[in-house]
Amino acid sequence: METEGPGLLFTIVAFIGGFSLLVFIHEWGHYIVARLFGVRIDTFSIGMGKELFGRTDQRGTRWKISAVPLGGYVKFFGDASAASNPGEIPQGMSAEERAVCYHFKPLWQRALIVFAGPAVNLIAAVLVFAVLSYNNGIRISEPVVAEVHAETPAEKAGFQAEDRILNVDGAAVDRFSDIARIVKLHPNQVIEFGVLRDNREIVLRAQIGTSYLEDRFGNRYPQGFLGVRSHTSEIIELGPMGAIGEGARQTVGSTKMIFTTLGQMILGIRSVKELGGPLRIANSIGEAANISFQYFIWMLAMLSLNLGIVNLLPIPVLDGGHLLFYGLEAIKGSPISKKAQEAGFVAGFALMLIFMLIVTLNDLQSMAL
């Protein structure tokens, strides 16, 4: 029976609350490392645009909630804008002001302040996955084939029951779920499997099949299938350190999945229509919150991971773009010219605008189905 979808108000509240929490985590990363290096912070905003309400702390930082709940920023002392663009060197400052100004800090400190935002998003994902693994345990089955389904890619490739799969396309696997994750990412592609059979290693090549996962709006997402079944899984309880290791493992696996998917879209293997924007993300968060609190937290961890990775892409206007300019500054020995930086930020802004247009159109088309 299909679960009744969440109401519009519930979805909006869950989205704004969840996404604002992720923005806070991201901006707190910038804030706390900047504070560590003695940078004065003028503003810490959750949301963009006009201030709805806020307060100024004893250090002079204005903490505020702004009208548009999509994004946020930390504005450092001396910034001409909330973007903290490299090359915005303030003029006419006293020695005391230069000492607390972001733009006069050593290059390595500025780079760490920028990197801290995405890094905290990644750390948050590890910790959430770790807590869920500690509370619930992890379900594991050995990478051993229990059954090969008839007339499937696995049967055609020559798989047999009790084959132990050692690696998939050269990547070692020690759980059946690892195999499933890789296979799902490669529909209609040929993959090599390293298999242990009767105490000898063989290589099987399979043309992965394609199935489609359909959401409640009728959107269909291609995923690969092989046609094998695992043995019964078992739930393993973890201690604190084991849970942290599992959290890191899940984060690394999800990161590989994100980069593989992005690469397939760039190469045209997957359609950009699979990308979702604010509307689809809001719906996913609302549905997760409607199902259970744990699923809601897991969804936020995945979004935190995505937020961290996207912000590290070397695109001007993103944190990764700032790090790119700082890397070039380190190689060159001096900042990149203001003209070159401005051109980069204009190009980056245009690229992000096009991206937002694409994902918003995808959302509107999917909602109209």
The reply to whether 3 falls in a domain is no
Shared domain for 158 and 147, answered yes or no, is yes
pTM for the full predicted model? 0.84
Q: Which long-range contacts (CB under 8 A, 24 or more apart) does 238-245 make?
A: 238/133, 238/134, 238/137, 238/138, 239/134, 240/134, 242/133, 243/130, 243/131, 243/133, 243/134, 244/126, 244/127, 244/130
Shared domain for 159 and 276, answered yes or no, is yes
Shared domain for 326 and 269, answered yes or no, is no
Shared domain for 362 and 318, answered yes or no, is yes
Shared domain for 33 and 60, answered yes or no, is yes
What number is the average pLDDT over the span 269-278? 73
Q: What is the pLDDT of residues 1-11, one digit of tens each?
A: 345 566 788 88
**Chain-wide mean pLDDT for the chain?**
87
Q: Measured on CA atoms in the order 62, 67, 73, 76, is the torsion positive or negative?
A: negative
2 secondary structure, DSSP code: P
Torsion of CA 76, 80, 85, 87, to 10 degrees: -110
The reply to whether 2 falls in a domain is no
Q: What is the pLDDT of residues 66-123, one digit of tens each?
A: 998 888 999 998 776 666 665 566 677 888 888 999 888 999 999 999 999 999 999 9
- Note if 234 is an active site residue: no
Is 223 a residue whose pLDDT tops 50? Answer: yes
The reply to whether 346 falls in a domain is yes
Contact 63, 55 (CB under 8 A): yes
What number is the average pLDDT over the span 246-254? 93
Q: Domain of residue 221: give its range.
A: 138-280
The reply to whether 290 falls in a domain is no
Q: What percent of the chain has pLDDT over 70?
A: 92
Contact 62, 54 (CB under 8 A): yes
Total structural domains in the chain?
2
Q: Which of 27, 88, 96, 142 is catalytic?
A: 27
Shared domain for 130 and 151, answered yes or no, is no
Shared domain for 39 and 98, answered yes or no, is yes
Shared domain for 234 and 326, answered yes or no, is no
Task: Choose the final residue of a domain: 280, 307, 324.
Answer: 280
CATH of the domain at 202: 2.30.42.10
For residue 216, what pLDDT band results from cuts at 50, 70 and 90? low
